[in-house]
Structure 1
Amino acid sequence: MRFNTSGRTSLRRRRLLQAGVTGVALPAAIFSPDARAHGDHSDPHELVRSADTVTVVGPWELTGLDPSRAGYMFTRMEVTETLLDVDDAGTLLPALATAWSVSADQLQWRFSLRSNSLYHDGTPVTPRSVLNALTRALARPGVLKLADIRAMQIEGRELVVTLGRRFAPLPYLFTHSGTQILAPSSFDAQGNVTGIVGSGRYRIGSIALPQQFDVERFDEYAGGRLPLPQIKKARYLSVSRAETRTLLVQSGQADLAFSLDPPSIRRLQNSRTTQLVSAMLPRTTYIKLNAGHPFLKDARVRLAISLSVERKGIATALLRDADLGATQLFPPAMQQWHQTTLAPLRTDLAAARALLRQAGWIPGADGIARRDGQRFELRLLTFVDRPELPLIAAALQEEMRQIGIAVRVVIGNSSDIPAGHRSGALEMGLTARNFGNLPEPVATLLQDFGPQGADWGAMNWSDPQVVAALNRLADSAGQPQQDRALVAATLQRELPVIPVVWYRQTVAVSQRLRGAGIDPFERSYRISQLEWAR
């Protein structure tokens, strides 16, 4: 990055630059005329907090307009709606659908659609437009593929969904951002998304892919029958580095800062200009393993790796929260799935080395194990979207070295892990899996631990008992508590993924706002619930 040396840069701006600002819209005078050619893709205007605009900063870029790619950003900013919503406990709530029911054989679901609603272009939200949007979603990769949907049709103001087999979590699929409803004017003649025209409380003012979009209050929301939010305008800005997001909220240039790293949290704890809001989420950071890899297909090796992990140490030293050490895959936030009687994951280096020896891996002169002339060396992929991941990866590298496994950490993009899963090239990946991606986790678990595995779940591993238990849960058959316990115990024993830490979301909030809260399912930033602290 090159800078124009003319003029004087304020201390605040120098601190931002020294922190490695990338992708932040700073004053045009700071950048040379060819700054864009050297990696800055943001609009060259000053990021100054507006008196009537709430600015949200997070690490996530807008990778496209299609709901299947970055649709979650538009639901988080309340631009688009889905058929249903959920409360903090995961209980279904009305959204574009006001009521829903299922037939006695559980093969036909009916969703009554809200009347008198408008899209942001002023056109009505018709049942036909809802059907067209969902038909398009069904034709693309996404959560609707989890259900055996045979037909969708409109009867009056009802959407009727017919299944080929029973699937109890179906309503929860219609809470996912990939099923958001867009107006017909959002699409071109070929069905490609060319604009985001939703029906939510806010409408798009402007978009500058991949980093920024602005929204403004939609006063005709729900036919104008509901009270208007106090916040009239909001902005989302993608800022890759956690320390930069911290500086932006400290300096008053941002109002909400998400995905903070532990040093940033410590810095803000005594701030007079910001407050911290936190909540444990149904998310687990784990090592995704290629269980088909010659080194990793032996369950003894996977257990050895697990035994090398100092979970409490990582949670304490890196996250400053000892309670986040993952004793099992499912965190306490997943009340129905967390198993209090399950023997916890532990650390035992001697036992780990013994297991490797049993699997034929003998320490070499350099301390790294060898078998049949092969050195036990693996590559661990991770990414910076969640700032704690590279730090955890470095700790895991050292911990595995102590039992004789050489690990090369590669910091890339979040897309590298699913790409490696699909190509078969992935060896290990460190990721934070959101089990609240769907408020009923059965649907997510069917993806992750089904016969074929999934981009963020198991790779080259499957267990027929796990698959059968998950199918019983999806089918409302069997005994739910026993099936959940079976799934948890099998994953704890086989370790197709190795849990490391659970996750606590911490958000920095400007003192000029009140009413900020955290959605445990990360569906919304809850802009419409905010008020000015005047």
Structure 2
Amino acid sequence: MPDRRRALALLSSTLLLPLSARLARAQGAEPRRGGTLTLVEVGEPTTLVPLTDSNTRTRNISTKVTEGLLRFDASFAPQPLLATGWSVSEDGLRYRFTLRPGVKWHDGRPFTAADVRFSLLALRTIGPRGRITFANLVAVETPDPLTAILVLSKPTPYLLKALTAAESPIVPAHAYPGEAYGDSPNGSAPVGTGPYIFTEWARGSHVVLRRNPEYWQPGQPYLDRIVVRFVADTMAVSTALEAGEADVSYSVALPELERLRSHPRLAVTAVSDDYLNNAQVLEFNLDRPVLARAEVRHALASAIDRRIITGTIFYGHAEAAGSTIPAALKAYNDEAPFAYPFDLARANRLLDEAGASRGPDGTRFSLRLTFHPGPTFRKTAEYLRAAFSRVGVKVDMADGDLATFIRRVYYERDFDFNLNGISRLFDPTVGVQRLYWSDGIKRPLPYLNAAHYDVPAVDDLFRRAATEVDEARRREIFRQIQGIVGADLPALALVTIPTIAVQNARVRGLFNSIDLATGDFSETWLAP
């Protein structure tokens, strides 16, 4: 697969060229103002602001309305957004941001440093990843309305990369009068500073955004409106794209891609997403006695043939994952501790040695499998059910929408093992630590330690990695972490997933940052 990975990376760098270079490749075409872009997706978010829920469905919409301090190009070089300048003190404990003047919230109020302070401190308190990202944030000083100074208790080497719109949205402080952040109407009708203004959320149907006529970037955005339609299944997505009723989707069924690729009005793009590093991850509920035994988890890992997942389920559009720390983070990735090759004989032997004998019907024990909503997750779950039956483990599948999934896994804990969609992100502290962080046991939040893994030594190593500025020492810490969690195996990364977009050929400038699908569409336009 390395050749395919290089090809995806090359494609990503091409898509993220500066606007002028992309337009030159579009035969000199100039951006055209006006029109409505329709994005169609399977499933619906639970909120439109990723404060309490960082799910991709939320992020894909919110970033058109709500901005961050920075964005990044394909090489992870920071670019100004709500911040126009920044500096870091020599000791790494003070980050000074100069904010963009003249920016207004969509309700007309001025954007100020007070909004930055409120947003980052709120993320530190209730953000699924913010509690880790901003763990070292002591205060946000605001000496004047256009200066925000982040004061840290310890160095935080990954901090700048976390300040994008999708990861750390800056929200209006005046929209959150209390600390019950989830109760604010801003979650359902967001007020932002971005290129598009929220207009309507018809639950179960669609979201409508309209052009911000007072956007701080002169001349942008180009589109008049964005309509995000929610449908129940992938067949409806393909039908809408082929009929010209939708312009873009990230939810196309993988078996449909080759057929849609041949459609004269459609283009298919698969891009390696090195910011999100999305993966399917199998999480074991360690509160269940049978799964609390490491040899049982090792046996189940050995019963999985990833070639079926990558080839049959993802049609070659995914790669086997070797570690929970993604291969894209080359400096930190170590796949050796996660070497559990497909081996049914080994799986059966380990289960026998664990005392999980087969009953008269050949069944050793039964497990309840929850899975993240979505067609590929369902298909992978169905494969896991069949795979585990071959070693005498009966699997019952628990279906449900996103809200049901989150409640069942993180609050009710009504599952035995869980097939999750995890963004492993741009740094292991932000994206991977949450799989193992014991804080998620005491204070549950979505996507935080579904396994209930509790190993103080691992917590301590992650704490050290979060503040270590020496890259050689930081690499060694992550190597130690992978050695421990690879053997304990509370979570097993199955496959990495690229961002796949199907778009009408008239759609131009779809991606304008490393965020890909969570970009802001400020440079997107529709050719005649």
* TM superposition score normalised by structure 2: 0.81
Q: Residue 112 of structure 2 aligns to which amino acid in structure 1?
A: T
Structure 1 pair 378/108, CA: closer, same or farther in 2 (3 Å)? same
SS of 1:119's partner is coil
Structure 1 pair 517/144, CA: closer, same or farther in 2 (3 Å)? closer
- In the TM superposition, what is the alpha-carbon distance from 1:312 to its structure 2 partner? 0.7
Q: What does the per-residue CA deviation read over 1:465-521, in whole Å, with 9 as the maximum and x for residues that have no partner?
A: 433332222112561222222233333222111222221221110122233348664
Residue 100 of structure 2 corresponds to residue 111 of structure 1: no
Residue 332 of structure 2 corresponds to residue 318 of structure 1: no
- In the TM superposition, what is the alpha-carbon distance from 1:323 to its structure 2 partner? 5.5
Greater Cα shift, 352-361 or 112-121 = 112-121
Is contact 1:327–1:345 with CA below 8 Å preserved after alignment?
no
Is contact 2:372–2:405 with CA below 8 Å preserved after alignment?
no
- In the TM superposition, what is the alpha-carbon distance from 1:74 to its structure 2 partner? 6.8
- In the TM superposition, what is the alpha-carbon distance from 1:242 to its structure 2 partner? 1.3
SS of 1:357's partner is helix
Residue 160 of structure 2 corresponds to residue 171 of structure 1: yes
Give, in whole Å, the separation in 1 of the partners of 2:369 and 2:131.
30
- Residue 199 of structure 1 is matched in structure 2 by 193
Is contact 1:98–1:113 with CA below 8 Å preserved after alignment?
yes
Residue 432 of structure 2 corresponds to residue 441 of structure 1: no
Q: Residue 78 of structure 2 aligns to which amino acid in structure 1?
A: L
SS of 1:238's partner is strand
Is contact 1:417–1:429 with CA below 8 Å preserved after alignment?
no
Greater Cα shift, 483-492 or 395-404 = 483-492
1:369-388 matches, within 5 Å, as: 369=364, 376-384=365-373, 386-388=374-376
Number of aligned residue pairs: give it: 474
Q: What does the per-residue CA deviation read over 1:279-330, in whole Å, with 9 as the maximum and x for residues that have no partner?
A: 1331111211112310011111000000000101221111111752333334
Structure 1 pair 399/279, CA: closer, same or farther in 2 (3 Å)? same
- Residue 459 of structure 2 is matched in structure 1 by 467
Give, in whole Å, the separation in 2 of the partners of 1:178 and 1:277.
24
Structure 1 pair 316/301, CA: closer, same or farther in 2 (3 Å)? same
1:435-514 matches, within 5 Å, as: 435-436=424-425, 439-453=426-440, 455-456=446-447, 457-477=449-469, 479-514=473-508
- Residue 259 of structure 2 is matched in structure 1 by 267
408, 417, 421: which one aligns with 2:410: 421
Give, in whole Å, the separation in 1 of the partners of 2:93 and 2:194.
30
**Structure 2: gaps of 5 or more residues:** 1-33
- Residue 143 of structure 2 is matched in structure 1 by 155
426, 430, 440: which one aligns with 2:419: 430
- In the TM superposition, what is the alpha-carbon distance from 1:525 to its structure 2 partner? 4.4
Q: Residue 58 of structure 1 aligns to which amino acid in structure 2?
A: E
Residue 331 of structure 2 corresponds to residue 336 of structure 1: yes
SS of 2:434's partner is helix
Is contact 1:66–1:193 with CA below 8 Å preserved after alignment?
no
1:232-271 matches, within 5 Å, as: 232-271=224-263
126, 129, 136: which one aligns with 1:140: 126
Greater Cα shift, 348-357 or 86-95 = 86-95
Q: What does the per-residue CA deviation read over 1:178-220, in whole Å, with 9 as the maximum and x for residues that have no partner?
A: 6423346645689723442211112223332354222222232
Give, in whole Å, the separation in 2 of the partners of 1:210 and 1:322.
29
Is contact 1:442–1:473 with CA below 8 Å preserved after alignment?
yes
Give, in whole Å, the separation in 2 of the partners of 1:483 and 1:170.
18
- In the TM superposition, what is the alpha-carbon distance from 1:351 to its structure 2 partner? 0.4
Is contact 1:75–1:523 with CA below 8 Å preserved after alignment?
no
Is contact 1:76–1:522 with CA below 8 Å preserved after alignment?
no
Structure 1 pair 343/136, CA: closer, same or farther in 2 (3 Å)? closer
Q: Residue 283 of structure 2 aligns to which amino acid in structure 1?
A: K
Is contact 1:75–1:177 with CA below 8 Å preserved after alignment?
no
Greater relative CO (CA pairs within 8 A, separation 6+): 2
Same amino acid, percent of matched pairs: 22
- In the TM superposition, what is the alpha-carbon distance from 1:250 to its structure 2 partner? 1.0
Give, in whole Å, the separation in 2 of the partners of 1:234 and 1:66.
17
Give, in whole Å, the separation in 1 of the partners of 2:451 and 2:335.
27
Residue 357 of structure 2 corresponds to residue 362 of structure 1: yes
User: How much is the aligned-residue C-alpha RMSD, in angstroms?
Assistant: 2.9
Structure 1 pair 264/463, CA: closer, same or farther in 2 (3 Å)? same
Structure 1 pair 214/76, CA: closer, same or farther in 2 (3 Å)? same
Structure 1 pair 380/182, CA: closer, same or farther in 2 (3 Å)? same
Give, in whole Å, the separation in 2 of the partners of 1:60 and 1:333.
28
211, 218, 232: which one aligns with 1:217: 211
Deviation above 6 Å: which 4+ runs of structure 1? 188-191
Give, in whole Å, the separation in 2 of the partners of 1:464 and 1:133.
30
Q: Residue 204 of structure 1 aligns to which amino acid in structure 2?
A: F
Give, in whole Å, the separation in 2 of the partners of 1:347 and 1:360.
21
* TM superposition score normalised by structure 1: 0.81
Give, in whole Å, the separation in 1 of the partners of 2:167 and 2:318.
33
Give, in whole Å, the separation in 2 of the partners of 1:265 and 1:518.
23
- In the TM superposition, what is the alpha-carbon distance from 1:392 to its structure 2 partner? 0.7
